[in-house]
Chains A and B, each alone.
Chain A
Amino acid sequence: MAKASKLLIYALLVAGAALFVLPFAWMVLTALKPIDQTLSRPHEWLPRRFEAALAGQVLEVHPGGPVTEPSLWVLQSGVRRPVVVSEASVWDGLWHPAIGAPVPVQLLKRVPASVSQPWIEVSDLSGQATDVIKASSLRSRVSFRWENFPLAIRSMRHFSRYLANTLILCLLNVMGTVLSSAMVAYGFSRLEWRGREWLFGLLLSTMMIPFPVVMVPLYGLFRSLGMVGTLQPLWVGSFFANAFSVFLLRQFFRTIPRDLSEAARIDGCGEFRIFWQIILPLCTPALIVVGLFTFLGAWNDYLGPLIYLTDERDFTLALGLDAIKSSESGATEWPYLMAASTLIILPVIALFFVAQRRFVEGIALTGIKG
């Protein structure tokens, strides 16, 4: 291949990869930032901590609003927090606000600020100690705010319950789907019987039915069984196999030589034992693929929990994450939202790297043979 075109291919691949990775990078970097930094423009890539000398020691601070005109830092009597007021609005020991009566104030500090030499209000993280300092004396250094992760977990009030619910659903769905689909796939691939092809066609055709068609009656069914508001509607169905998994496993089962089953049958082995002790162990890779996809489906599911779960304490992680977004009043706390998102994505990514080959094989299998 010509060198130029090879270079072009690499350039395109790298550019594409950069665009695909960028949202992840932005998410993680935001998760490690202080809130102030996400609300200011222009945005910086790297998380920082701001520090200033406050009450005699160097502390981490929240930078506040800049001061760009000659001002005074004054304390009103009866008020705990000092404020910055324009120099021109104070005379005779009284502050003359734009609206309202003059207020007696105590001068704490002169702030000879200008547009070219701005000062800045700072407060420590608890908001107790405050000061006005030269903007140039505000120090910052690159630092990752790992404490955002526990804080994000705390902001999802029932995080441990969400996690437990999600894991329970994943476990039950994986168990149910793998066991039942393997059994059904065995019946459709390794046994010869009348009506098999016809029923398999029926199974495949159920994949075409859009979910909204069955959504309402299923809800009514689970409601009449008293299961709405519990986790049950989200896993019960998995124990009755699903078309996609059966199809995938059947493809795999068919590749195992017939003679193996015949030999076992001649030795007087029952059909269930052949399935359980001979065929299943040989099909572990395919079972793992089905298990992986089922796990991800349960971990990522949003619509199911949205329909069936009513009490906030029964939510899954997906719903819990959505809830902290919608419960934000006013400014969204992006670092916490991104930290929580990172926590939910992380297990998926870890799983992918552990089982990368299986994923790719599984996807390719469904695509090519479909």
Chain B
Amino acid sequence: MTPGDRKRTFVGLAFISPWLLGFLVFTAYPVCASLYYSFCDYDVLSRPVWVGLLNYQDMVSDGVFWQSVRNTLEFNLMALPLGLVSALTLALLLNQPVRMRGTFRAIYYLPSLVPAVAGAMVWLWILNGRLGLLNQALEALGVSSPPQWLVDPKWTKPSLALVSLWGCGNTVVIYLAALQGVPQSLLEASMIDGASAMRRLVHVTLPAISPVIYFNLLIGIIGGLQVFTSAFIMMGGAGPERSVLFYAIYIYQNAFEYRHMGYASAMAWVLCMLILVLTLLASRISRRFVHYQG
């Protein structure tokens, strides 16, 4: 290293020093500590006690843990495709030469900005079994005994999927920006070749935006596995028959309600590994479907 190199490195490090410091204190240390705690019995109040793999073994035999895994997967298998397909559909509609595109886009986008607490309150009221808007509408349409959305364990997950669908505007805007970047020349060429609108969509538009579809899918998986707030607020935690006891909620309960911080940390690490595996899997699969231009 020349003295000039050294000085430049010094200046560079000085500029990124806030992050570097924060990284050490708020990321690197907690990551290492939580890995250590995951092998400990720990309640924050006293020192952690090493218990080896006990927390991980407990997980295998903990029925509630498995229920939280099932709940989380079931919810995401419902909410994720629903959200991605609806958002893409809305974006495709908005990408047509329509008037008032900005207004429509604003309307679709706004709910995704709403504070989760406030959104949860509004949906508690809409989904209320006897007085809620949804059931009164269903009754007016002739459904004699509409579902008890928030009380019947069969319906709690679909209810939350509906709530998350209301917030898909964020994804709509991302898709729309991608759609507007699809090269016009490609679309025109296929039109001259006589391709129908459907064929243009499947063979030109979708491949062209496939990196963004992939991005949204990844973000969706990572966020979906950590779903917490709306379920926690609307159902007061686990919900009827623990039907919305999601993985992140169970971690929270173990950490801050039962003070099983070691167990909570072990669960968090399993989540981390799961996300890693799913991400790798998605990138493996995506190689066949995602086309990067240039």
The answer to whether A and B come from one shared complex is yes
A residues adjacent to B (C-beta < 8 A)? 1, 6, 9-10, 12-13, 16-17, 20-24, 26-27, 30, 38-39, 41-43, 180-181, 183-184, 186-188, 191-196, 199, 202-203, 206, 208-221, 223, 237, 239-241, 246, 271, 275, 296, 299-300, 302-303, 307, 317-319, 321-322, 325-326, 334, 337-338, 340-341, 344-345, 348-349, 352-353, 356, 359-360, 363-364, 366-368, 370
Complex interface: chain A residues within 8 A of B256 (CB)? 219, 307
Min CB distance, A223 to chain B, in Å?
6
Contact with A along B173-205 (1 / 0, CB 8 A): 110111001000000000000000000000000
A219 close to B174 (CB less than 8 A) = no
* A and B contact pairs by CB, cutoff 8 A, 29 listed: A9-B93, A17-B108, A20-B108, A20-B110, A27-B125, A41-B131, A41-B136, A42-B140, A187-B16, A193-B11, A206-B27, A208-B275, A210-B271, A216-B42, A216-B255, A217-B265, A237-B26, A239-B22, A240-B21, A271-B11, A271-B15, A300-B116, A302-B115, A302-B116, A322-B233, A337-B125, A338-B122, A341-B117, A341-B122
Min CB distance, B38 to chain A, in Å?
9
B109 close to A359 (CB less than 8 A) = yes
Which listed residue, B19, B106, B125, B276, touches A352 by the CB 8 Å rule? B106
Complex interface: chain B residues within 8 A of A9 (CB)? 93, 96, 98
B117 close to A318 (CB less than 8 A) = yes
Which listed residue, A17, A193, A221, A363, touches B104 by the CB 8 Å rule? A17
Min CB distance, A197 to chain B, in Å?
11
Contact with A along B98-122 (1 / 0, CB 8 A): 1000101111111101111111011
Q: B261 within 8 Å of A by Cβ?
A: yes
Min CB distance, A366 to chain B, in Å?
8
Instruction: Spot the interface stretch: B29-37, B67-75, B143-151.
Output: B29-37
B12 close to A196 (CB less than 8 A) = yes
Q: Which of B18, B34, B124, B139 has the most CB of A within 10 A?
A: B18
Q: Which of B22, B116, B222, B255 has the most CB of A within 10 A?
A: B22
The CA-CA distance from A240 to B265 in the complex, in Å, is 24
Complex interface: chain B residues within 8 A of A191 (CB)? 8, 11-12, 15
Min CB distance, A212 to chain B, in Å?
4
A183 close to B15 (CB less than 8 A) = yes
Residue of B nearest to A194 (CB): B9
A188 close to B16 (CB less than 8 A) = yes
Complex interface: chain B residues within 8 A of A307 (CB)? 256
Q: B5 within 8 Å of A by Cβ?
A: yes
Complex interface: chain B residues within 8 A of A359 (CB)? 109, 113
Majority SS at the chain A contact face: helix
Majority SS at the chain B contact face: helix
A-B pairs, 10 with minimum CB distance: A240-B22, A187-B15, A367-B174, A364-B177, A193-B12, A214-B30, A217-B33, A217-B30, A212-B268, A300-B115
Complex interface: chain B residues within 8 A of A341 (CB)? 117-118, 121-122
Interface size on B, residues (CB 8 A): 96
Complex interface: chain A residues within 8 A of B117 (CB)? 300, 302, 318-319, 321-322, 341, 344
Besides the known contacts A30-B125, A181-B19, A368-B181, 5 further A-B residue pairs in the complex with CB atoms under 8 A apart: A193-B5, A215-B251, A215-B264, A216-B42, A322-B117
The CA-CA distance from A299 to B11 in the complex, in Å, is 35
B122 close to A214 (CB less than 8 A) = no
Q: Which of B33, B121, B124, B272 has the most CB of A within 10 A?
A: B121
Min CB distance, B201 to chain A, in Å?
13
Min CB distance, A228 to chain B, in Å?
10
